[in-house]
Amino acid sequence: MKRVAVFGAVALVAAAWPAVSGQPPLRNIYVVTQAYCLAPQAPAPARRCRDQELPIGATLEVQLPGTPSVWTVWAVPPTLEATGSKKLPSPNRVEGTSEVYIFTFKAARAGTTNLVFKETPPLLSEPAFCQPQCGSFTFRVTVK
């Protein structure tokens, strides 16, 4: 019986941890990657990233593998608020890359717009993947 009580208490603390630590609850964090923009995950037409939907107040995290390529936010829609970015080591997460770029946004208000990332030089968004336009990924984001 003690064991059940201990495991139950640990589970409650673990579930509450994001809120207690100032982080949003895990159910309000949405993570997307370059896979949402490349075949076979991306819908037709080619290079169109899968549309994203999230509620107001949620956190959107975009993870893009880089180095040698460098990713920058090209356009932040008014529905999102940029809250930070960082690079972490991640050797060969995608062949030929050594880091992952992580960009975070808060869903600020309702609407549907585009969140655009620019890649310099184009590696993941090179011609083999991105005809007719290269060098960027565009995520269509709907905040409800």
Full pLDDT tens readout for the chain, 144 residues: 444 333 333 343 444 444 455 554 556 888 888 877 776 666 655 556 888 899 999 999 999 998 988 999 998 999 999 999 999 999 888 888 899 999 999 999 999 999 988 988 887 765 555 545 578 888 889 999
Q: Which residues pair with 65 in a beta bridge?
A: 100
Please give the residue range of the domain that contains residue 50. Answer: 25-143
How many structural domains does the chain have?
1
With respect to residue 137, please indicate whether it lies within any of the assigned structural domains. yes
With a threshold of 0.85, does the pTM exceed it? no
With respect to residue 14, please indicate whether it lies within any of the assigned structural domains. no
The CATH number of whichever domain residue 111 belongs to comes to: 2.60.40.2020
With respect to residue 1, please indicate whether it lies within any of the assigned structural domains. no
With respect to residue 51, please indicate whether it lies within any of the assigned structural domains. yes
Q: Measured between alpha carbons, how far is 142 from 34 in angstroms, rounded to an integer? A: 18
With respect to residue 3, please indicate whether it lies within any of the assigned structural domains. no
Q: Measured between alpha carbons, how far is 16 from 23 in angstroms, rounded to an integer? A: 10
